Copies of this chain bind each other. A is one copy, B any other.
Amino acid sequence: MDLTALREHSPEACRGRETLDRVAEKWTLMVIAMLGERTKRFNELKRECVGISQRMLTVTLRSLERDGLVTRTVHPEIPPRVEYTLTDLGRTMLEAIEPLLVWTESHAARIDAARAAYDAEHPDRQAAGT
């Protein structure tokens, strides 16, 4: 893999890093993963993204829409119904993060163990509020 571009100072490289930042935003991966299953409504996403607040879901979705990763469809009904769907671009991103999601689930225990071991060996270095 060639990562040369990430280190450069060109405008393209900056965009690459910005995109990396977007990926690294707290709820991006989670929301994309959930929408990867199928089109979903606001409250459905809210229920599934355990721990997300209403506000952050709104902000995240708006941001994903802006980046062309998610489509927002308002159905003019009462009560209102709004559906969110991955765009083609969003689906390419989903494919790109699938290995990471799988890794996350299958290695969580090992990381937990490593963390405990580290904390046991470095009783001094531990952060206060963790």
Contacts and interface: CB of A to CB of B under 8 A. Distances in A.
Interface of A: 1, 3, 5-7, 9, 12-13, 15-26, 28-30, 33-34, 36-37, 48, 50-51, 62, 65-69, 89, 92-93, 95-105, 107-115, 117-119, 125
A33 B4 CA distance: 11
A68 B118 CA distance: 8
Specify how many copies of this chain sit in the oligomer. Answer: 2
Contacts of A103: 92-93, 95-96
A116 B58 CA distance: 20
A6 to B, nearest CB: 7
B102 A114 contact: no
A20 to B, nearest CB: 5
Contacts of A26: 21, 24
